[in-house]
Each structure stands twice: as C-alpha cells, then as structure tokens.
C-alpha cells in the first residue's frame, strides 16, 4: 500500500475528526472525550476489517488517530505568559 496515494484521505480524516473533537472549555469535557475516544476506537476496529477491500476507510481512520493525538496534545500543553 502506498501512503502517498492516500494522503488526501488522511488529511480529510484528520480535519473531520478534529472538527468532531470536544472543546476543552465545555463542562462535560471528560464525558465527551470518552465518547470521542470510543467512537474513534470502533472506527479503527471496523475499518481494519475491511482494509483490503476498501482502504479509504482505514486511512480516514488513520487521520482520526492523528487528530486524536493532536487533541490530546492541545489539551495537555498550555502556554502561559506571566507579567
């Protein structure tokens, strides 16, 4: 499998999963993040079963995994400037 031919699917998957990510300022961030993580896990499991038939779904989920790491890094790393 050539990753470069599916790079556009990975980017679209990343953008969609980042748009679906819960906002860290919400009151129920923990519950929403758990639902987000479970949905991504089920998406990865389901798309790995059909990877040989339709690899677009798998690479879309790979973009989702990258989005998950981005969301985790965004919520953990904070930059503060003290005066």
Q: Would you kindly state where each structural domain of the chain is located, as residue ranges?
A: 3-76
Please state, in angstroms and as integers, the Cα–Cα distance from residue 78 to each residue in 5, 20, 53, 58, 75, following that order. 35, 21, 42, 32, 7
DSSP, collapsed to helix, strand or coil, labels residue 77 as coil
What's the pLDDT tens digit per position in 27-65? 888 888 888 888 888 888 877 777 777 788 888 888 888
What's the pLDDT tens digit per position in 5-34? 888 988 998 998 888 888 877 788 888 888
């Amino acid at each position: 499998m050539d990753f470069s031919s599916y790079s556009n699917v990975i980017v679209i998957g990343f953008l969609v999963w980042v748009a679906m990510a819960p906002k860290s300022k919400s009151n129920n961030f923990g519950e929403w993040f758990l639902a987000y993580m479970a949905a991504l896990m089920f998406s990865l499991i389901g798309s790995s079963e059909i990877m040989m038939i339709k690899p677009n779904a798998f690479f879309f989920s790979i973009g989702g995994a990258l989005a998950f790491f981005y969301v985790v890094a965004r919520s953990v790393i904070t930059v503060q400037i003290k005066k």
